[in-house]
């Protein structure tokens, strides 16, 4: 996975553990795709200050993923769930298949959101 | 859920985020069911010191659950999955049912472990 995208996901998983300040900086960098210069101007700090803060925040996100592995676990769950959905897809049409499909989608959405 | 049991689960979810010291104290209290006096003697600190450290650690576990809600999410996932298993249980016997059942069990174990 591309680093920027991966960090965006990790921010989704662990953002609640960051300080408000760290989260704001990382959101501007990862979600709004702002440059260091833009963030520095908005925040009234130096580019180097932004760079250091982002680096610390990113390292923290990776550290939490190494400790808790939430993203890795969800990827594995979604993989198994897509296999389950394939098995459901091969069932003969009918109410049972529809009910199973709806329940599998419900699980998928609970993990994805 | 009984508080002691709930905290044991939360320690499972978030223990990796605690300091080694905090985790050791909470494990003795929650998993080994040691008394304050026993932990105090083992650790060479006062009972009040143990009590304070446990209280801080427990509050931290609750705070992480409020932020990340991993336990609540897994409870909801296991609930949906048990409904899915009931639907599978109502299918006619055969290879398809067995394959679906095995895949649902795989998911269940991935969430439970």
Q: Report the percentage of chain B scoring pLDDT > 90.
A: 95
Range of the domain at B9: 3-68
pLDDT of residue A58: 96
Q: Are A57 and A107 in a shared domain?
A: no
Helix, strand, coil percentages, rounded to 5, for chain A: 85, 0, 15
pLDDT bin (cut points 50, 70, 90) of residue A1 is: confident
Q: Are A82 and A30 in a shared domain?
A: no
Q: Are B46 and B101 in a shared domain?
A: no
> Structural domain tally of chain B?
2
pLDDT tens digits for range A30-58: 999 999 999 999 999 999 999 999 999 99
**Interface pTM, i.e. ipTM:** 0.86
In chain B, the residue whose alpha carbon lies closest to the alpha carbon of A98 is B87
Q: Are B20 and B60 in a shared domain?
A: yes
Give the residue numbers in A contacting B (CB under 8 Å), as ranges. Answer: 13-14, 16-17, 64, 67-68, 70, 73, 76-77, 80-81, 83-84, 87-88, 90-91, 96, 99-100, 103-104, 106-107, 110-111
Distance CA A84, CA B101 (A): 9
Q: Are A19 and A42 in a shared domain?
A: yes
Task: Compute the average pLDDT of residues A7-22.
Answer: 95
Q: Are B8 and B55 in a shared domain?
A: yes
* Single pTM value for the model: 0.88
Q: Is the pLDDT of residue B66 over 90?
A: yes
Q: Are B42 and B83 in a shared domain?
A: no
Q: Residue A5, CB half-sphere, CA atoms under 13 Å: how many?
A: 2
Q: Are A29 and A53 in a shared domain?
A: yes
pLDDT of residue A113: 82
Tell if the CB–CB gap between A68 and B17 is shorter than 8 Å: yes
Q: Are B54 and B97 in a shared domain?
A: no
Mean pLDDT, chain A, rounded, equals 95
Q: For residue B87, give the nearest of B74, B101, B76 by alpha carbon.
A: B101
Beta strands in B1-113 (DSSP E): none
Q: Is the pLDDT of residue A25 over 80?
A: yes
Mean pLDDT, chain B, rounded, equals 95
Q: Is the pLDDT of residue B1 over 80?
A: no
Task: Compute the average pLDDT of residues A18-28.
Answer: 95
Q: Are B34 and B80 in a shared domain?
A: no
Q: Is the pLDDT of residue B113 over 90?
A: no
pLDDT of residue B69: 95
Structure tokens at B113: 């472990």
Beta-carbon contacts of B29 under 8 Å, excluding residues fewer than 6 positions away, are B36, B39, B54
Q: Are B17 and B51 in a shared domain?
A: yes
Beta-carbon contacts of B60 under 8 Å, excluding residues fewer than 6 positions away, are B14, B17, B18, B22
Beta-carbon contacts of A73 under 8 Å, excluding residues fewer than 6 positions away, are B110
pLDDT of residue A89: 95
Indicate which CATH number applies to the domain containing B18. Answer: 1.10.10.10
Enter the DSSP assignment of A92. Answer: P
Per the CB < 8 A criterion, the answer to whether A89 and A78 are in contact is no
b or e along B12-35 (b: 16 or more beta carbons within 10 Å of the residue's beta carbon)? Answer: ebbbebbeeebbebbbbbbeeebe
Q: Are A61 and A78 in a shared domain?
A: no
Task: Compute the average pLDDT of residues A71-86.
Answer: 96
Most A CBs within 10 Å: which of B11, B13, B14, B16, as the mutation test of the A interface? B16
Task: Compute the average pLDDT of residues B78-101.
Answer: 96
Instruction: Tell me the CA distances in angstroms from A56 to A18, A24, A59, A61, B95, one per residue in order.
Output: 11, 13, 5, 9, 52
């Amino acid at each position: 996975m591309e680093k920027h995208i991966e960090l965006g996901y990790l921010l989704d998983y662990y953002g609640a553990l960051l300080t408000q300040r760290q989260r704001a900086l990382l959101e501007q960098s990862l979600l709004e795709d702002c440059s260091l210069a833009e963030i520095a101007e908005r925040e009234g700090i130096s580019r180097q200050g932004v760079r250091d803060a982002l680096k610390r925040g990113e390292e923290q996100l990776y550290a939490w993923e190494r400790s808790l592995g939430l993203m890795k676990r969800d990827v594995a769950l979604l993989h198994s769930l897509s296999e389950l959905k394939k098995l459901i897809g091969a069932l003969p049409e009918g109410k049972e298949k529809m009910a199973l499909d709806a329940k599998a989608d419900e699980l998928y959405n609970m993990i994805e959101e």
